Amino acid sequence: EGAVIEDAVVMGGSVIKAGAVVKHCIVAENAVIGENAVVGAMPTETEKGVATVGPGVTVGDNAKIGPNAMVSTNVEGGGEQW
């Protein structure tokens, strides 16, 4: 509830929690996107990347994942990966 998902592929078994923003990215199976986390961004003239979150990865509450990031390990709450 309250999450924003736009132009994203979210595989089965994944959980996107309240307040999360998930844009222009791929979230693999069984991943967890924490509350108020931000994953990816819509393309701009200078940024066209696609963020990917690997299978079983947890992106913690309030974490930020950049538009070119390839996340294969857990990201702690409040952490950033670009």
Q: Which pLDDT tens digit goes with each residue over 13-71?
A: 999 999 999 999 999 999 999 999 999 999 988 888 899 999 999 999 999 999 999 99
Rounded Cα gap, residues 45 and 33, in angstroms: 27
List, in order, residues 6 or more apart from 44 with CB less than 8 Å away.
none
**Predicted pLDDT of residue 48:** 84
What the block records as the tokens of 69 is 């990031």
Task: List, in sequence order, every residue forming a beta bridge with 21; answer none if it has no partner.
Answer: 4, 38
Whole-number Cα distances in Å, 77 to 7, 13, 27: 24, 21, 17
What the block records as the tokens of 33 is 């996107």
Rounded Cα gap, residues 32 and 44, in angstroms: 26
Q: Is the dihedral of CA 29, 41, 81, 63 positive or negative?
A: negative
pTM of the model: 0.93
